[in-house]
Amino acid sequence: MNAKRILLASHGTTGARAADQAALELCREPGAALFHLTVVPDLWLGMMGDDWLNNAATRDTYCKHIESQLNQDIDAHRESLEPQLAARGASYHAEVTIGSPTECLLQYAATVNPDLIVLGSRRPRGVPGLQSRIKVDRLLDRLPASVLVIPYPPLHS
């Protein structure tokens, strides 16, 4: 595959890490560029924990903690990818946004005009964690490039 401009939609989960590795392998062409999009789903905006947080100061502290943890996770993910791309001679561009994963991906793809878009597949049933909110069927008709969906890594028994 001769894609020089690769858009990776990844947020650091197990399935997304499989997509990370595939995107890294594709960045072998001289002048390759990886555009890494991390979307913080807008469902986090309403995460207040009001059932146990009983005053404004506690809610503010809780919100700052959640925001800090998300930022640390996103930074660690970015910092793990960046040196691997530099070693391949590829450029790395990271974008973090909050919103609907499907709409954010469509908007970013329109901005960076990729040759290829790499996504991880949905988490298998029974595996703990948040399920992807990306609506792949809605994307396929509207994205400006081919889409490569990487299978979820095999589960170990």
d(CA 40, CA 70): 8
Q: Which of 25, 32, 24 is nearest to 3 (CA)?
A: 32
Token reading at 62:
């809780």
Token reading at 9:
């939609």
pLDDT in tens, 58-90: 667 767 777 778 888 888 888 999 999 999 999
d(CA 21, CA 81): 9
d(CA 85, CA 24): 7
pLDDT in the model for residue 115: 95
pLDDT in the model for residue 150: 94
pLDDT exceeds 80 at position 56: no
Helix/strand/coil percent split, the chain, to 5: 45, 20, 35
pLDDT exceeds 70 at position 43: no
Token reading at 55:
């005053």
Sheet containing 116-120: order of strands: 91-99, 33-41, 5-9, 116-120, 146-150
| Residue 105 vs residue 157, higher pLDDT | 105
What pTM does this model have?
A: 0.84
pLDDT exceeds 70 at position 97: yes
| Residue 123 vs residue 65, higher pLDDT | 123
**So where are the chain's domains?**
1-9+44-131+141-157
Task: Match 């999009």 to its residue by tokens.
Answer: 37
pLDDT in the model for residue 54: 62
Sorting pLDDT into bands at 50, 70 and 90, what band is 134? confident
- Topology at the third CATH level for domain 1-9+44-131+141-157: Rossmann fold (3.40.50)
